[in-house]
Chain A
Amino acid sequence: DQQVKQNSPSLSVQEGRISILNCDYTNSMFDYFLWYKKYPAEGPTFLISISSIKDKNEDGRFTVFLNKSAKHLSLHIVPSQPGDSAVYFCAAADEKLTFGTGTRLTIIP
């Protein structure tokens, strides 16, 4: 039972354009959401988070949007840079973190 789903295994975006990564969840008890970025041969790195009482959180080029009624969150990266090429995991928290399967983002120079 996949409680957190990232339906796009991969995404390619031109450098300088906006990258939008999506994540859906099914458990309404999740109260905190996070995005992690992972490079090969490294552990995931925390990127940005959002509490369920908010609908938007911004940190530099990264913005996370939460739509609780749709049980959907998204990560926007603008402008996209070559160093953003990585696998992005969304995670949802109740008393533990549940991760999606990841989306591989490739930024095309």
Chain B
Amino acid sequence: DSGVTQTPKHLITATGQRVTLRCSPRSGDLSVYWYQQSLDQGLQFLIQYYNGEERAKGNILERFSAQQFPDLHSELNLSSLELGDSALYFCASSRDTGGLTVYEQYFGPGTRLTVT
């Protein structure tokens, strides 16, 4: 158990809909990261938040957005869903100091999103 929790575990929705994925980081971790893993792909970095502020952005679509709340939990919002958005979405957290150095990240169990 990494200490990172994600809800829900599974989500099935239709094209055009909007969903929200939730992540609670490990106790004491200020950084939260979101990743997407499509079939047979590696993990694609989407976005990082540090202590409520956006820190780094990866291959995140404009239809996707995220935020980190004062209690440090984070939400990833996916809208106007398309079939190709079906994937595993992982959240990770780390205890970095706020600089740009990336320390070891600890991953949650993931949310499996299926768009039909």
* A residues adjacent to B (C-beta < 8 A): 4, 32, 34, 36, 41-46, 49, 89, 93-102
Contacts and interface: CB of A to CB of B under 8 A. Distances in A.
Interface of B is mostly: loop
A41 B2 CA distance: 14
Contact of B43 (A41, A42, A44): A44
Contacts of A43: 2, 4, 90, 92, 107-110
A34 B2 CA distance: 16
B102 A45 contact: no
Interface residues of B, number: 25
Given A32-B101, A93-B102, A96-B102, A45 B42 contact: no
Contacts of B90: 43-44
Nearest to A43: B107
B56 interface: yes
